């Protein structure tokens, strides 16, 4: 029904009853107890917004770090996409508790979801979530052994902006061994754990399309390093059934009522 943080808020507001009595924080319950949630809580939850941002390079997904600006700073009336199909209007309370559901590195671009709704966050990044995330990844081939695998916390070289209109200058697909493409799809391990199967295909001669159902830190870059590829550009274009579409870089829109991840 909600996130743990929302549940704490509901209990604090007196919106949760156990066996007909308002529940105090920390009350132990059994399967035999009757738990009721006031309709006010549901109405409060329905007012919460989910925002889709086309994150540009140079912004961090979460809290400000190392002097870099958080992506939520881009959520304001000036950057609201003029072609947003929803009828929502921006108001400052929508920024309260607005947090990223998943992350993109500072020099990765594309679809970033920010939400006030714990149900949406759990759907995308919950422990049991297997939601697909789709990426376009521009690469160069260095051959196995030349790309040194990095620790997940180690910062890689900055990426380049991916522009779909860029001319294709190299044919990585022609020289990259097919057996290594199969390893990207299934057979690699990170942090001592085997990775779940991924969908990996060539989008054009220098760009791969990745579809993942998990999100280890810097996962795509580290996967590529294991097979001799160096990532030079990364863009997320889809989460579940929601796509980036025509949303311009640095602008945002609301998740429409009819859209579902």
Question: Phi/psi at 174 (nearest 5 deg)?
Answer: -70, -30
The whole-angstrom distance between residue 236's C-alpha and the CA centroid of its chain comes to 8
State the residue for tokens 């995308």: 124
Task: State the SS3 of 239-261.
Answer: ECCEECCCCCCCCEEECCCCCCC
pLDDT in tens, 149-202: 555 565 556 666 665 555 555 789 999 999 999 999 999 999 999 999 999 999
Sign of the CA dihedral with 168 first, then 174, 175, and 180 last: positive
The residue with greater pLDDT, 84 or 2, is 84
Lowest mean pLDDT among 84-88, 109-113, 139-143, 250-254: 139-143
At residue 79, does pLDDT exceed 70?
yes
User: Model pTM?
Assistant: 0.77
Pairing of strands 35-37, 16-18: antiparallel
Confidence band of 66 (pLDDT split at 50, 70, 90): confident
d(CA 108, CA 71): 12
Mean pLDDT, rounded, for 38-64? 85
pLDDT tens string 7-33: 888 899 898 999 999 999 999 999 999
Beta bridge partners of 22: 17
Residue 87's pLDDT band, with cuts at 50, 70 and 90, is: confident
Which of 84-93, 110-119, 220-229, 241-250 has the lowest average pLDDT? 84-93
Q: How confident is the model at residue 146 (pLDDT cuts 50, 70, 90)?
A: very low
């Amino acid at each position: 029904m909600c996130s743990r943080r929302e549940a704490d808020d509901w209990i604090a507001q007196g919106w949760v009853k156990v066996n007909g009595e308002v529940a105090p924080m920390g009350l132990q319950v059994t399967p035999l107890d009757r738990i009721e949630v006031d309709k006010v809580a549901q109405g409060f939850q329905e007012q919460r917004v989910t925002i889709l941002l086309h994150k540009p390079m140079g912004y961090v997904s979460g809290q400000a770090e190392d002097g870099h600006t958080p992506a939520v700073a881009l959520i304001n009336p000036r950057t609201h996409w003029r072609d947003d199909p929803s009828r929502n209007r921006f108001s400052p309370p929508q920024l309260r508790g607005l947090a990223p559901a998943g992350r993109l590195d500072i020099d990765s671009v594309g679809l970033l979801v920010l939400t006030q709704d714990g149900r949406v966050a759990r759907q995308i990044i919950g422990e049991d979530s297997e939601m697909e995330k789709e990426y376009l990844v521009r690469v160069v081939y260095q051959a196995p052994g030349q790309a040194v695998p990095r620790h997940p916390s180690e910062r890689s070289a900055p990426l380049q902006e991916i522009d779909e209109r860029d001319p294709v200058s190299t044919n990585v697909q022609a020289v990259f061994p097919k057996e290594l493409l199969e390893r990207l799809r299934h057979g690699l391990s990170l942090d001592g754990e085997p990775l779940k199967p991924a969908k990996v295909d060539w989008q054009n001669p220098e760009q791969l399309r990745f579809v993942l159902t998990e999100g280890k830190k810097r996962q795509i870059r580290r996967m590529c390093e294991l097979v001799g590829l160096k990532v030079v550009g990364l863009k997320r274009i889809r989460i579940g059934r929601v796509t980036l579409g025509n949303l311009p870089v640095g602008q945002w829109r609301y998740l429409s009522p009819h859209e579902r991840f």
